[in-house]
Chains A and B, each alone.
Chain A
Amino acid sequence: MDIMQVEDVSYSFGALKIMEDISFSSQMDQFVSLIGPSGCGKSTLLRIMAGLIKPDTGKVLYRGKEVVEPIKEISFVFQDFGLLPWLTNLENVKIGLSASDMDDDKKTEVAKKLLAKFKLDGFENSYPNMLSGGMKQRIGVARAIASEPRVLLMDEPFSSVDELTAETLRSDIIHMLKSNDISVNTVVMVTHNVEEAVELSDKIVILSNKPSHVKEIKTVELKHPRSRRDPEFMDLVDHVYGVLTE
């Protein structure tokens, strides 16, 4: 079943056409990666899916309903974390519950549980700038799933943290998704890292540049956990590189 559908989306900035007729979908329990050269509008596409930006033509559907503004079923993880430096870590997670009808005590309780889940208990009352990049992004993810969304959109979530931390974060997220530990049904992630895309995805949407359109949609059926040294894995990586650079 399609959870998110992108249908013939085009978008221009002024006279410059950024993307043209982009279509793809993400199904139940699927992890989808959007990959393409830098400047091809991947992040803009993700924001269109979030309802933050309106496409010029085409539309985005969530379970068949058009997305025209942010809705509570769709959440977002930002590349530079998007944490508010003047709020404590706990308050930052509670931002994710802004539109919920929970009372404040309940929100605090939920946020505390989430921080504990991401091994951040003890940091409730300190501020984001005292944390490492990896910890910040864990707060970003905790905030994103606080309101129990069905769709998680991630904009290069691991590019602002070091490689070792990124590895742990990736396996945490894939584990949560595959074990149905969290409410999220599908993830759409923007990345420019081919290995990362192959490691995480069930489906890789490969985009071209200027204006961007879909070059190929590659299904990945390798079992988790995936090893980067597996020949099949390496073949897939080579294939994606090939499509990207052709």
Chain B
Amino acid sequence: MAILDFVVSLLVDISFSWMRMLIALLASILLGLAIGIFAARNERAEKIVMPIIDILQTLPILAFFPFVIYIIVGSLPGYVGINIAVIFLIITSMVWNIIFGAFEAVKTLPLEVSEVSKMYRMNGLGRLRKIWIPASMPKVVEQAMLSWSIGLFYLVTSEIFSTANSTYTVKYGIGVALTNLALSGNYFEYAVGIGIFILFVVLTRALLFAPLETFFSPYNDQKQRKHRFSNFMHRLKTPKFPKIHWHIKMIDLGHHNHSSRGANAASIAGAAKPTTKAGLMDKRVYALLAVAAALLLLLLLYRIGIISNQDLGYEYDVLVALAASFARIWLAFAVILVVSVPASVYLIFMTKHRNAYVTLFQVLASIPATILLPLIALELRNAPYHNELVAFVIFVLSGLWYVIFGTMSNRNAIQSSMLEAKKVFGVKGIKAWRYIYLQAIVPGLITGAVTCIAAEWNASIVAEHFTSTALGNGNVITSVGIGMGTYLDAQLTAGNYWLMALALINLTVMIILINRFLWKRAYNSVAKVYK
């Protein structure tokens, strides 16, 4: 009987969690359609909205969670507030790629489609209902599936997030339930719970996304409907993991305006296409945002204290915390590379059982690393430097899959003729690695790396500082001395609204600078060569 009670209570918890996820997904799809279609149909909106979303999607928004909780629970106390905070946060993890999906779908429609709508003088609502929304839905559903797996990470992390203050925790949820089981040493039940969690992930895919995908398939033919199951199995095997949609790519797709018929002639004549102007606008928006962030930072410094020494003291603390977390996260990233690069090469070029591995990895990757945090923290309790070790392990587990799947998702770009050339010319051993394998995976590796590091930053709010408030006592389970996670938790507990904001602005500026001067440069230089 006890086991039945246990399973029922787990199902209740998982229902609460899935309810949060579904609400967030629905909101994300509505928002994604609205923003994506609007930006795709309105050039001015595109130039403003898309760069902003470009930045937002690479920010570790989970790090904003303490701040969001403080604001929302502050004005809406209790159960409602914390749930809204959690749902809001999941939306911020889900919505970006859905926006890009809708945007891309509308943007890449053949010119004739928009001409049809004009020629037959369809009104705005008609166009939305009969053209833009149905055209977007296949991409939106595809992206929604990615959103779901990213959302799960946010869900669990925000559920197990805790400070000394118990009003900042949700009461029911699979994250809470599993944390409780692990912390109270019920490892068997904990394992059963993770099993049920995985089962729900697979069922959601089969019962929600697979039918949605079939329903919104752009090629509505009956055959496909009949083979729903085999379709589902096939899709399970196709790696789908977040990809960074650099806006630069969108601009390349973006010149089918009304003159595109003339554009053919223009390209024959060697006339320059008007993309440089768009690129310039893009840069201007970035510069504007950077200046705005800098001004906000100055304003904050001014507001916190009048004495400049104290201001500098606050900023110094934040910078030290940021540097400490940065070092941990990039060290973990280096370890991830050591593991995932050979693994990706093996998966792409060497194994015959790729599909089996990918299916296995997909299931493993569906377990958010943070759900393992309580277990790992307890198991490593007696190890030297155990706090650092726990954070490090969680970072590696959070980021690993992103690199592997990022690299895998670029697999199609690797032509089979490359491998044939390798065989014909007998390229082997170190040379094969140096001239073929490592080079071929670089573009996928870059997009994988960006998402990997964002995932690590996301994990930092629990990996660096974790308490058992969910269990009823406020014991600190693990806490690194210095780090962004620790810093944000401490400021939330103390209610230091301005210091939280200060830390987040520093983090945001750092991420934008790294994106701008490292990743985007790397991506652009690679894109030039690999196209």
- Report which A residues bind B (CB closer than 8 A): 11-16, 18, 39, 41, 43-44, 47, 50, 52-53, 69-70, 72, 75-76, 78-82, 84-87, 91, 95-99, 127, 129-130, 143, 147
Contacts and interface: CB of A to CB of B under 8 A. Distances in A.
Contacts of A15: 271
Contacts, number: 102
A18 B265 contact: yes
Given A13-B262, A99-B123, 6 more contacts: A15-B271, A70-B119, A79-B112, A84-B135, A91-B130, A129-B220
A98 B123 contact: yes
B221 A129 contact: yes
B168 to A, nearest CB: 45
A14 B271 contact: yes
Contact of A16 (B112, B119, B137, B269): B269
Given A82-B112, A85-B220, A87-B134, A13 B259 contact: yes
B120 A39 contact: no
Interface residues of B, number: 35
Interface in B263-313: 263-266, 268-269, 271, 274
B261 interface: yes
Given A86-B220, A130-B221, A52 B262 contact: no
Contacts of B110: 80, 82
Contact of B262 (A18, A91, A96, A99): A18
B222 to A, nearest CB: 8
B467 to A, nearest CB: 50
Contacts of B269: 16
B118 A70 contact: yes
A47 B117 CA distance: 14
A26 to B, nearest CB: 18
B219 interface: yes
B119 to A, nearest CB: 5
A62 B135 CA distance: 34
23 contacts: A13-B259, A14-B274, A41-B262, A41-B265, A47-B261, A69-B118, A70-B119, A76-B115, A78-B115, A78-B116, A80-B110, A80-B112, A81-B112, A84-B134, A85-B220, A86-B137, A86-B218, A86-B220, A95-B130, A98-B122, A98-B123, A98-B126, A143-B120
A178 to B, nearest CB: 25
Given A47-B115, A78-B116, A95-B116, A85 B218 contact: yes
A70 B110 CA distance: 19
Given A16-B266, A85-B220, A72 B121 contact: yes
A11 B262 CA distance: 10
Given A13-B262, A13-B265, A84-B130, A75 B119 contact: yes
